[in-house]
Amino acid sequence: MKVIALKFENFRNLKNDIITPCDGVNIIYGNNAQGKTNIIEALWFFCGGHSFRSAKDNEVICFDKPNSKIEMRFFGQGREQTAKIVFLSNKKQVEINGIERTSASALIEKFNAVVFSPEHLNLIKRGPSERRKFIDSAICREKLKNAVILSKFNRILVQRNSLLKDIYKRPALEDTLEVWDEPLIKYGSMLIAQRLEYVKMLSKRAKFYHSGISKNKEELNIRYVSSAQITLEDDFETIEKKLREKFSENKRDDIRTGVTNAGPHRDDIEILINGKNAKSFASQGQQRSAVLSLKLAEASVLKEKMGEEPVILLDDVLSEIDNKRQDFLLNEIKDCQVFITCCEKSNKEQLKEGKIFQVENGEVTDVSALGTRHGD
């Protein structure tokens, strides 16, 4: 998967332009608040029509303009393709290879990328919901079927919790609880099985990347923590059996508290560096390196599932990590296209091979083409 060209019009503060990245590492360099992240955001929109900044679509339209447009030429699935997104005040219009689509989700089947932004450090810094969201998002991008399973589980969970609250007030309703228990166990078991398979694939790759980033000084491990004592070795029948037993065991507590106290919505993914919990014991640089390793591992799993390398988008990734870790990201990620934003002059000078774009007041300049690759 390679981006051949990216065109933007009235997109946030970016001046209307077309950029042509190289197939390897592309540095997007400049001071803060100049528009570097906007380029990463524009590229990410082609992964399904959503921003990783959780912004409203109309917020990307430049002030005092009626609409905004981004277009991309890319190579994927063995051929050159095009995609276009037009942002209007209250909707998006999407075209893929010149054909209008009814939903931006159609982009998921055409273009694949993995993004890191500083907000992703919440994978370690915050609670289990952030880590579940990371795993579930990655799984859902692989297959539409996975997204359907997650959606059904969440919908049934809401209904069961609503019933639990009613049972506390009207005990006669307890006999109807089984109506929701069985489908919740079914879809919950399927979701857990998907997560376990993904964690197995992710863990091995994350350990490999973290070893490279830390120059073999640290070991990263990922452990699935189940509220129903389910392990990576359990097959589907065992997962379903354990979940059913846990539901039965927790029935009285569920009715008392009005919520479902066990299941995939209560599980966690523990991130360990040298055997210690990264949230409690890792430094800022170690935490950033761990999340980067997870993101690079995500890209590797996506390649295996989808059959080609995704584009890697790294926003503000080089701060708070030392020069050796920076060098790995700039010069040792091979066989895929990478976009990296940074502020420090020394970062762009570390790049051995690739392209450098400077962003100033929304204007993007290919400084490597101007012969200023090693200086201002």
Render pLDDT for 50-91 as a digit per residue (tens, 0 to 9).
888 866 888 899 988 999 999 999 999 999 999 999 999 888
Mean pLDDT score, 308-323:
87
pLDDT (tens digit, 9 = 90+) per residue, 12-54?
999 999 999 999 999 999 998 899 999 999 999 998 888 888 6
pLDDT score of 371 = 53
pLDDT (tens digit, 9 = 90+) per residue, 201-229?
999 999 999 999 998 999 999 999 999 99
Answer CATH for 2-112+309-366 from 3.40.50.1820, 3.40.50.720, 3.50.50.60, 3.40.50.300 = 3.40.50.300
At 372, is the pLDDT very low, low, confident or very high (cuts 50, 70, 90)?
very low
Residues of the chain with pLDDT > 90, as a percent, come to 71
- Classify the C-alpha dihedral 152-308-46-12 as positive or negative: positive
pLDDT score of 107 = 86
The residue that leads in pLDDT, 323 or 114, is 114
The residue that leads in pLDDT, 226 or 326, is 226
pLDDT score of 373 = 42
Same-fold call for 2-112+309-366 versus 124-280: no
Q: What's the CATH number for 124-280?
A: 1.20.1050.90
Residue 9 has pLDDT above 90, yes or no: yes
pLDDT score of 48 = 84
pLDDT (tens digit, 9 = 90+) per residue, 262-299?
999 999 999 999 999 999 999 988 999 999 999 999 99
What pTM was computed for the model?
A: 0.86
pLDDT (tens digit, 9 = 90+) per residue, 134-192?
999 889 877 778 889 999 999 999 999 999 999 988 999 999 999 999 999 999 999 99
Domain residue limits, the chain:
2-112+309-366, 124-280
At 375, is the pLDDT very low, low, confident or very high (cuts 50, 70, 90)?
very low
Contact between residue 254 and residue 164 where contact means Cβ atoms under 8 Å apart? yes
pLDDT score of 318 = 82
